[in-house]
Amino acid sequence: MLMAAMASAYAQATIEELLEKIQYNMDLTTDAMARVTFTQAKVEQGTKTIDSIYYRRDSDDSFLIVMIAPESEKGNGYLRVGDNFWMYRRNTRTFQHINRDENIGGTDARGGDFERRKLPELYVGVKDSSGKETITETMLGKVPVYRFEVTAKVNDVDYPRKTYWISRDNFLPLKEQCFSSSHTLMLTAYYRKYTTANGKFVPVEHLYIDEFEKGNKTIVEISDIQNDRLNDDIFTKAYLENLSK
């Protein structure tokens, strides 16, 4: 009865409150280091796997992704500090300024997927013609979920419109559909596995399906998560350049 009452209470919650719940459950407030593997399948190019190391500084949400395999990608990287986001290429030893919607290593994962921006500050619930939000209780496979739509309230986001399916049990995102400003479905993401770190939930297996170029997809797997304090020197161009020497 208690669980039913809690579910009922959240069914009547606003979309903003659900976004805040997601944020609270997943807002890791420590530095982090992890191994990230991207497995990309493209219709005309087959499958490739890229191994990388991910570093994140909690104080300002800076992050660094360094490719470690295969040899053709080794030493390439992505560095985000403040409002600046760079892509580094080892063969030319150059940095290129890019946007957060840049694909990582040519996969369907984007730079914005590795940030910890606050959802309630980026998105607001979509309302119908009567001015009401819609939160639907439905099923995702065998899992009870809430389904709702949001639209961006700032310009600097990867997609201006999204639909979420979040677990009614723990309010974690399980599925996400991303749309262009013209409401074209661009990407479907599934968050298939979570772990906990310092009392927060971390999605450690993501599936990204490219809805624009049909048949393309990327699996992102995160492992060996550590939460020790990281040296500030890591989040510099010099550090990334030295790794590729």
φ, ψ (nearest 5 deg) of residue 120 = -65, -20
The predicted structure's pLDDT at residue 101: 78
Q: What is the CATH number of the domain that holds 29?
A: 2.50.20.10
pLDDT digits (tens, 9 = 90+) for 137-159: 999 999 999 999 999 999 988 89
**Residue 31 in tokens:** 């530095």
The predicted structure's pLDDT at residue 221: 98
pTM for the model stands at 0.89
Q: Could you tell me which residues come within 8 angstroms of residue 61 by beta carbon, excluding any fewer than 6 positions away?
A: 80, 115, 116, 117
The predicted structure's pLDDT at residue 4: 47
**Residue 121 in tokens:** 């500050």
Percent of the chain whose predicted confidence (pLDDT) is above 90? 77
The predicted structure's pLDDT at residue 159: 93
Q: Which domain holds residue 66?
A: 2-243
pLDDT digits (tens, 9 = 90+) for 6-44: 444 444 689 999 999 999 999 988 999 999 999 999 998
Q: How many domains does the chain have?
A: 1
